[in-house]
Chain A
Amino acid sequence: NAGVTQTPKFQVLKTGQSMTLQCAQDMNHNSMYWYRQDPGMGLRLIYYSASEGTTDKGEVPNGYNVSRLNKREFSLRLESAAPSQTSVYFCASSLGGAVSDTQYFGPGTRLTVL
């Protein structure tokens, strides 16, 4: 049981390049999330997927797109990377849409945009 896995662990991009961050969970969770973590800002929600087939914007969605490929996988795409997107990106999952749910986090992807 691997929990939540993310690839890659590290990435360096040039401004304007595109990339996709991959996330998968093996806990049969319905909900999945993408966060970014910046120093002094805590975690900010980019996008989430309450269930397979649905996605919704979070607090900071600009410059990102997501795909809920199936129940296990939720990818985050940067179409044209900008230096402001330099951050640590975390994927998380939870059982369902209950406010009491625990979120389970992946190890993160450290992205630098030059």
Chain B
Amino acid sequence: AQSVTQPDIHITVSEGASLELRCNYSYGATPYLFWYVQSPGQGLQLLLKYFSGDTLVQGIKGFEAEFKRSQSSFNLRKPSVHWSDAAEYFCAVGASGGSYIPTFGRGTSLIVHP
């Protein structure tokens, strides 16, 4: 079965600084990878997803993520963080050979200082 790890429970950055949120997955074949964002008091919204092709994926709100098979990682990045990016971020992994429902990580809470 697939699994996903988000090593950082909290990340604090200053507004305007760059951001990288880590995600590591465990799955034998090519995984289907997702990043979702949850703003305070709201449901989750898809930022981006990857399942084939170019390993650098562009998403909404200026986010991008890079799939690195050798490191089993799918880290989320943003070059300049805005205060409105403060939220909970979830990485998820899906497996083509098993259940079609993705497995979610435990989330990383992003705090943005002015």
A contact set with B: CB distance below 8 Å = 4, 33, 40-43, 45, 48, 58, 90, 92, 97-103, 105-108
Instruction: Report which residue of A4, A40, A58, A101 has the largest number of chain B beta carbons within 10 angstroms of its beta carbon.
Output: A101
Contact across chains for A40 and B46 when beta carbons are under 8 A apart: no
Contact across chains for A108 and B106 when beta carbons are under 8 A apart: no
A42 — which chain B residues lie within 8 A by C-beta? Answer: 90, 104-107
Contact across chains for B95 and A103 when beta carbons are under 8 A apart: no
Instruction: Report which residue of B43, B95, B106 has the largest number of chain A beta carbons within 10 angstroms of its beta carbon.
Output: B43
Residue of A4, A99, A105, A106 near B96 (CB, 8 A) is A99
Closest approach, in angstroms, between the C-beta of B100 and any C-beta of chain A?
Answer: 4
Contact across chains for B46 and A102 when beta carbons are under 8 A apart: yes
Contact across chains for B44 and A103 when beta carbons are under 8 A apart: yes
Contact across chains for B49 and A106 when beta carbons are under 8 A apart: no
B100 — which chain A residues lie within 8 A by C-beta? Answer: 97-99, 101
* B63 on the A face (CB < 8 A): no
Contacts A90-B43, A99-B100, A103-B46 known; 18 new A-B pairs at CB < 8 A? A33-B101, A40-B9, A40-B106, A42-B104, A43-B44, A43-B90, A43-B104, A92-B43, A97-B100, A99-B32, A99-B94, A99-B96, A100-B49, A100-B51, A103-B36, A103-B102, A105-B36, A105-B44
